[in-house]
Amino acid sequence: MKTTVSSKGQIILPAEFRLMDRIESRQEFGIKRLGRGKYRLVRRAAHPNNGPIDWLLACPTKGFFMPVSTEQTKAIRTS
């Protein structure tokens, strides 16, 4: 993908990226210079509902999670 720097020094993230990552206006990003012509852009604050959903979507394969019986969960809570 390609983008340009505006006369104000602003960089536009392509709409496809903004939709995929649910990026909204006024969200803050950190930027780090890695070397000449190389930069890393990282969103500072995640969307409030991202945590568990992103964690589940990051599962390595379908069926990664195994069902747990009620007795097993009771044992975990009491230990």
For 1-64, CATH gives: 2.10.260.10
Give per-residue pLDDT as tens, 14-69: 999 999 988 888 888 999 999 999 999 998 875 566 677 777 777 777 777 777 77
What pLDDT does residue 50 have?
63
What pLDDT does residue 16 have?
92
pTM over the 0.85 mark: no
Could you tell me the residue ranges of all domains in the chain? 1-64
pLDDT category at 78 given cuts 50, 70, 90 is low
Mean pLDDT of 66-77: 74
What pLDDT does residue 34 have?
94
Contacts (Cβ under 8 Å, ≥6 apart) of 17: 1, 23
